Amino acid sequence: MKNVISFLMYSASAFVIAFVLLVPFLNAGMVNAQTGYERPPDITLKNPLTAVGSEGNVGDISKLVGLIIKALMGFVGSIVLLFFIMGGFTWLTSQGNPEKVAQGTKTMAYAALGALVVFLSYMLTNLVIKIISGSA
């Protein structure tokens, strides 16, 4: 009896989920068949690289590499923030356990050290490139 009830509950929940997910797709064809329906304007996506070059093409490979490096720097900053949060959470939930406190402290210290290494290498590389190109 217990198995039959659980089977019916799982079947009913599967039916409800399938119904909720499929109804919007079944209704889409009927909306297009109505009279007086106007097609919405085409949606276009703006190319983010158009500001760098002309007509959506990057004019110079160094500008494209610069854009990729800037995106990666933002990603590195997000990862550092994630490790700071993880270390702080470990530290705060340690409940006085010295091993957990040390683990959380090390996580935050290594995250800060990693961020320092990445950002200093970026600054040093940027400085060298500016000196070589003569724009410093």
Look at residue 136 in the predicted model and tell me its pLDDT.
Answer: 59
Q: Say what percent of the chain tops pLDDT 90.
A: 32
Calculate helix-pair angle for 98-133, 61-92, nearest 10 degrees.
160
* Local confidence band at 18 (pLDDT 50, 70, 90 cut-offs): confident
Instruction: Flag whether pLDDT at 114 surpasses 60.
Output: yes
Sequence-separated contacts (24+) of 22-27 with Cβ below 8 Å? none
Sign of CA dihedral 54, 56, 58, 64: positive
Q: Where are the domains of the chain?
A: 61-133
Query: 57: helix, coil or strand?
Result: strand
- pLDDT at site 109: 95
What per-residue confidence (pLDDT) applies to 67? 76
Instruction: Tell me the per-residue pLDDT of 22-50, one tens digit each, with 9 for 90 and over.
Output: 766 665 555 555 556 667 777 887 766 66
Is the pLDDT at 126 greater than 60? The verdict is yes
Per DSSP, the three-state class of 113 is helix
What is the average per-residue pLDDT within 73-88? 92
